[in-house]
Amino acid sequence: MYTPYCYCRGFTWNSTQHVLWLMLQYARFTYPPEYHILKKPIGTSQTAVMVRVSIRGRTPLEKDLQYTGYGWDIKSALQNCAYVAIIRLRYELPEIEEFYCYVPSLTEGAQHTTYPGLAEIGVGLHTPYLQLANFVRSLDMLYRSTFAELQRVRTRVASLERIIMPRYRQGHYTPEFMFGEDAMLAPAEDIPPPVGMYIERSPPSRVDVRTAYPPLGTTGPYGPPEYVQWYGRVFKLRMRD
């Protein structure tokens, strides 16, 4: 089961998170996206990451938007989540259609991306916009096929680990064989600030914890709540300096 791990609302320059924030500013959103990160172990040596991004409405009457992405480390999951938000917003925000006509659009439940509005703005066969759209489409197909292939490989590795783990515990295999050399371990993850870590805690009696995690709607003042609930467990957010 996924459990709360951390929160952030920063981005790496020129990443998909950066592109998402630029798109939101073009559509007159005033608050940067908030990313809620959860983890769960897969097998004995892998970790799956789920990220849910919350986008505050432009007015108090406009509902918040939420999208979910997945990955095998925090950086890839953040990028995937931001990309999912970009292609969904391309469909849900018609006002960005002309400026972002080369960005793929994906409706909820659809399997393939489209480019609504590309023909209506008079883009011809040999214009840069159309060529850029074709290039982005090919990158989108490459990304999706690579992501699906990685999913299959990681699932296969987890299945093999479960099969050979009993023999490892009996001493038939060395730790280096099972888990690899230190040089093969993933580097420490650098999460763009501001960032906070979730720690499981028993809340003070004076604190009324009602906020589900990740947030499912408007949470009052901008920013994350100090305490959140997750499947009956309570987590406290500790922001880093």
Q: Which of 49, 1, 53, 38 is nearest to 215 (CA)?
A: 53
pLDDT tens digits for 5-30? 999 988 888 899 999 999 999 999 99
Q: Which of 118, 117, 113, 101 is nearest to 143 (CA)?
A: 113
Contact (Cβ atoms closer than 8 angstroms) between residue 108 and residue 115: no
pLDDT in tens, the chain (241 residues): 888 999 998 888 889 999 999 999 999 999 999 999 999 988 777 889 999 999 999 988 888 899 999 998 899 999 999 999 999 999 999 888 878 888 888 887 777 788 776 666 555 556 777 778 888 888 888 988 998 898 898 888 888 888 888 887 888 877 777 766 654 455 556 787 888 888 888 766 666 665 666 665 444 556 777 788 888 788 888 888 6
Torsion over CA: 57, 63, 64, 66 (sign)? negative
| Whether the model pTM is above 0.85 | no
Separation CA 16–CA 34 (nearest Å)? 14
Q: Which sequence spans correspond to the domains of the chain?
A: 3-239
When computed from its CA atoms, the radius of gyration of the chain, rounded to whole angstroms, is 21
